[in-house]
Amino acid sequence: MNNPIEMNDPDLTCGLTDDELTERFKASIRIDNEIRRIKGLPTAKYNGKTKQAYLEYPDGRIEYINDIPQT
C-alpha cells in the first residue's frame, strides 16, 4: 500500500496513455469550436501578445472581454 500511484496508471486513465488523452482533449475542443461556428456562436480565445481574452464570432469580428458591456 506504500506504492505511489503512477501518473499513467491504466486504471485511472481508462487504459489510455497521457499523450492519447491529450490528443483526444484537443480534438474535442476543435470539434466544439466547429459546432459553435456552425451555430453562429462566438468562440472564447486568448491573445498571448496582448494577454487578453476575447470572443471571436463566425463572421470574423473580435470583441475583447473588457470591451463587452456587463449586464
Distance of CA 60 to CAs 7, 13, 51, 64, Å?
A: 40, 38, 19, 13
**HSE-up of 28 (CA within 13 Å, CB side)?**
6
Q: How confident is the model at residue 8, as a pLDDT? A: 58
- In sequence order, which residues have a C-beta less than 8 Å from that of residue 13 and are 6 or more positions away? 21
Per-residue pLDDT of the chain (71 residues; tens, 9 = 90+): 455 555 656 556 677 788 888 999 999 999 999 999 999 999 999 999 999 999 999 999 999 988 666 66
CB-based contacts of 17: which residues, under 8 Å, 6+ apart? 8
Per-domain boundaries in the chain? 18-67
